[in-house]
Amino acid sequence: MYIWYNPKLESNIELFPNPTDENSTTNMQLNHFDEQNVLVVVRDLLGKELFSKVLNIKSKNELFPINQIGDLPKGAYLISAFGNNKIHSKLLIIK
């Protein structure tokens, strides 16, 4: 098994605002996952799973809230999306 990483590729996960503060909501937009189910997992940097949910993506413009106000304390989190036989991840910073 190998991991292929190309930093020049556009991310399939957009998080905004990022970084954010714990009194705000961060929204996620998933690109290139149109019309499919995608498993989204939020983990802390120690690998502890804090949240997971299967999202039914209908269009690339849909927004999904990641941290509702007060849900996640200050810290760094790895947001991963599993779909299309691929894994896409992005770092979320809450200050």
Q: Residues 23-72: pLDDT tens digits?
A: 888 999 988 777 889 999 999 999 999 989 998 888 877 888 887 756 78
Q: How many domains does the chain have?
A: 1
pLDDT recorded at residue 67: 77
As a whole number of angstroms, the distance between CA 50 and CA 8 comes to 29
Say if 5 falls within a structural domain: no
Please give the residue range of the domain that contains residue 70.
Answer: 13-94
Say if 40 falls within a structural domain: yes
As a whole number of angstroms, the distance between CA 3 and CA 8 comes to 15
pLDDT-based confidence at residue 1 (cuts at 50, 70, 90)? low
Say if 2 falls within a structural domain: no
pTM beyond 0.85: no
pLDDT recorded at residue 7: 56
Question: Which domain CATH number covers 63?
Answer: 2.60.40.3080
Q: 11, 16, 1: which is closest to 33 by C-alpha?
A: 11
